[in-house]
């Protein structure tokens, strides 16, 4: 009879990013050769320190946290399947049906601009303005829900992980990436959200764990990390980045439904034969003006084998796009080109940088 391998997995109990819930579910799904014991810690920092001290075999942290706190004493062991990285709007109605001049609470500068892009009549305020709280924990969201019930606000935007932690039921509406209704806008997330990374001490050898690694999540994390690394910190709060491994059939159905010529041409050869392979990597990057009126976007699709070189090319295109859209261009008499003002204003005029 094969022995059962027992592994202790450290994870923060106070984290609001859904790590504890996702790891607990994962521990229940591993096969009979493994027994995963989930041990709760105070926060991600405590999780890392306990792992280094040998108090656990693996530690689970969010992809966002790991990107900011990579440590040479530990290594990434595997990625869990990515949770949907989109945010949700808690309200009685979908965004397009919120009453005119309604009020929505959202803390992300990018989401605020994306909401204004879809509904310029809405007033989008922060949680500090609404309830004088910056961090959206369960207590803060409960206060927002009270405002919504009292009809002082029409809705508020929170993460899916936070929604799962709420002790009460609410109606939620996805601020989605892929269009399912033609008139809806896409809400590209800020990148690196929805990932749970299991890390171990350097030298920890357990090759049997490799079969649990989600390669699609790993690729998406690496590409988003690479793209974000080339975006200036000043404008990063206003930039959306999303990488995803998708089936060609799903992409084609969506593209044909909404007549997306760019996507169709990238997936079908001139003789109308669909390209080989079952999957493609999709990468979307966008920046939205302060008032939501102008969007700069790059959307590309490529084979997994071409991922690194394709993202490098996307970064070059992105820099050229920003150069064109966010800067004033003086008159060029030699080329008979008139002076032009910037197309996309990142900051309000009074805060122009």
Q: pTM, whole model, 2 decimals?
A: 0.89
- Helix axis angle for 215-228 and 307-325, nearest 10°, is 30
Residue 16 is predicted with a pLDDT of 85
Do 5-81+193-213 and 87-174 come out as alike in CATH topology? yes
d(CA 296, CA 241): 12
Write down the pLDDT at residue 1: 44
Edge-to-edge strands, sheet with 87-91: 123-125, 103-105, 155-159, 87-91, 172-174
* Sheet (strand 74-79) strand order: 34-41, 5-12, 58-62, 196-201, 74-79
> Residue 333: its pLDDT value, please?
65
Residue 265: the pLDDT is 61
Phi, psi of 39 (to 5 degrees): -115, 125
What's the confidence (pLDDT) of residue 168?
92
Residues of the chain with pLDDT under 50: 1, 183, 271-273
What pLDDT digit, counting tens, does each position of 235-246 carry? 999 999 999 998
Instruction: Classify domain 5-81+193-213 by CATH number.
Output: 3.40.190.10
Supply the pLDDT for residue 278: 82
pLDDT attached to residue 245: 92
- Judging by beta carbons within 10 Å of its beta carbon (0-12, 13-18, 19+), is residue 131 exposed, middle or buried? buried
Q: Which fold has domain 87-174?
A: D-Maltodextrin-Binding Protein; domain 2 (3.40.190)
Whether the Cβ atoms of residue 286 and residue 295 lie closer than 8 Å to each other: yes
Torsion angle in degrees (nearest 10) through CA of 223, 112, 263, 296 = -80
Question: What is the rounded CA–CA span in Å between residue 211 and residue 351?
Answer: 51
* Sequence-ordered list of residues with C-beta below 8 angstroms from that of 256, at least 6 positions apart, any chain: 264
Task: Report pLDDT for 273.
Answer: 46
- For the chain, the domains span 5-81+193-213, 87-174, 227-325
Averaged confidence pLDDT in the chain: 89
């Amino acid at each position: 009879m094969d022995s059962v391998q027992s592994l202790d997995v450290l994870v923060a109990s106070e984290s609001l990013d859904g790590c504890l819930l996702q790891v607990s579910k994962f521990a229940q799904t591993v096969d009979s050769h493994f027994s995963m014991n989930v041990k709760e810690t105070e926060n991600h920092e405590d999780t890392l320190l306990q792992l280094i001290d040998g108090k656990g075999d693996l530690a689970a942290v969010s992809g966002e946290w790991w990107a900011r706190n990579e440590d040479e004493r530990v290594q990434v062991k595997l990625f869990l399947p990515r949770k949907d990285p989109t945010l949700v709007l808690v309200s009685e109605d979908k965004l397009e049906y919120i009453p005119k001049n309604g009020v929505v609470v959202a803390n992300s500068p990018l989401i605020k601009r994306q909401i204004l892009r879809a509904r310029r009549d809405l007033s989008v305020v922060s949680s500090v303005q609404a309830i004088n709280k910056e961090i959206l924990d369960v207590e803060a969201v409960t206060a927002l829900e009270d405002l919504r019930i009292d009809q002082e606000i029409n809705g508020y935007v929170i993460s899916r992980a936070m929604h799962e932690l709420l002790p009460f039921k609410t109606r939620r509406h996805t601020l989605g990436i892929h269009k399912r209704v033609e008139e809806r806008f896409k809400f590209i997330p800020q990148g690196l959200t929805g990932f749970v990374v299991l890390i171990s001490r350097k030298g920890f050898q357990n090759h049997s764990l490799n079969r649990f690694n989600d390669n699609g999540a790993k690729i998406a994390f690496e590409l988003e990390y690479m793209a974000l690394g080339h975006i200036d910190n000043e404008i990063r709060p206003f930039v959306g980045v999303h990488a995803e491994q998708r089936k060609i059939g799903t992409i084609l159905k969506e593209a044909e439904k909404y007549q997306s010529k760019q996507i169709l041409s990238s997936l079908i050869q001139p003789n109308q034969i669909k390209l080989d392979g079952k999957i493609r990597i999709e990468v979307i990057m966008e920046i939205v003006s302060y008032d939501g009126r102008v969007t700069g976007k790059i959307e590309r699709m490529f084979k997994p084998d071409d991922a690194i070189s394709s993202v490098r090319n996307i970064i070059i295109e992105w820099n050229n796009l920003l150069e064109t859209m966010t800067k004033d261009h003086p008159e060029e008499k030699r080329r008979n080109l008139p002076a032009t003002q910037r197309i996309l204003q990142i900051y309000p005029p009074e805060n122009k940088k």
